Structure 1
């Protein structure tokens, strides 16, 4: 059906072009321009629909890397700045004093500022990254250390198929690296936690979980005892601040670290599983993050874990 629609709109587009050419090169009317715009929009929409219908979609981790052993990714701006500085010096040396003018002087000043920016950008980036955990609400990234309130966990269902395990692992990794989440959990249609990753609430007795299966069993019990476990049908629960968490009673969820400042849980339409993500930063999940987590729940819901 999508192929027929695409063929039709392309034929319409060609007919419009022929008619416009037949007018002896006269400027296109407002009506023909509108038809072209509608046609192009229809083609783009059809292409997007075909892409969405594909079952071969994968999780994308939005991180650029050169993969070079010679030059670290963090040093790329410094290398660009050094090359720019050399080019600036070479240009000044070859232009000569006679050719120097106000325009060249201004250009060299701007070039020098850009070179300086490239050289100090990695230092600024490292400073921001070090202080990221000091942002609003105490930071969002997963804490690798364990304390009385939370412990770092990566528990994956060992009985899941290879494809399901791969999707669970990459999905949880993508959530922790592409959002401000410090922890994430996926619970399937049977109410069983299939993956728990990041910072989870510590055990009441202070012990660490002895195995991944024990950590998942504890997460499953905690989810079932929470208000999310009793929630039926489709829902999007977004508690953007500590005040909302306390008001909802989410501070009593046994899987949620006591220092969590933001929680998002979703079971979108046409899905039976639930994705829960939490952060140490207030208002951590924007509208796009929440829509992406909804799509993630739909993706994981395709797997059969029974």
Structure 2
């Protein structure tokens, strides 16, 4: 008996221990250096968005007519604009408005897309066909063009930019979540939930929805970068923030008039937008590579 027990204990110790899912995810994610760098920059820029207005070296809206269109210097490290306003201070202060606009639009569009995707994938039939055909019509238009049309109809302004960016986000999330729902709802635990009398609403949100979170998280992280670019583009075109507001797209729009004489007005806000969008895309790629079982 003791030999048998000893043999069983040795066999049990020889078996590989189950890894904690969180530790396993962190280990795989940290192996992707570009994704880690993207995450680090995202954390940094989010901190700047929160504390930026309080740490600006100058008032971002204060005019200084003695330093009009001044280039980078020890006094103004990123130069000044046509009114003598410090570019570095305006970009720091503008992080809050630019990121807030993109994140709000992404959350609104994601929420609407998730609900429509859940309904389409879970109920199927004519409901599915109707929602998907509406999405197909929206896909026929380039996202930024659709946003411009929406903002042109309802009027310019930051709030309307959020609505425009959110609307063209909806169909992509609806289609992605619908595909995930079609896979999840055939699982045994969903059939068991239905067989024991769970309502459709409970089954859809409690049992099916959690199975779509992986696709949702990955696509949301990648969508934020596109939302920042779209919101900045609308402000650049004059549909979003006014030229008096410290917003990255508006700062870039003002700077284009002085591209030949003061290129720093375009270079620095463009660089910040580029790095922020790149960081979200690298982070999203890292999440996809880490979470996708097919790639693992």
What is the TM-score with the length of structure 1 in the denominator?
0.24
Q: Which has the larger radius of gyration?
A: 1
Greater strand proportion: 1
What is the TM-score with the length of structure 2 in the denominator?
0.25
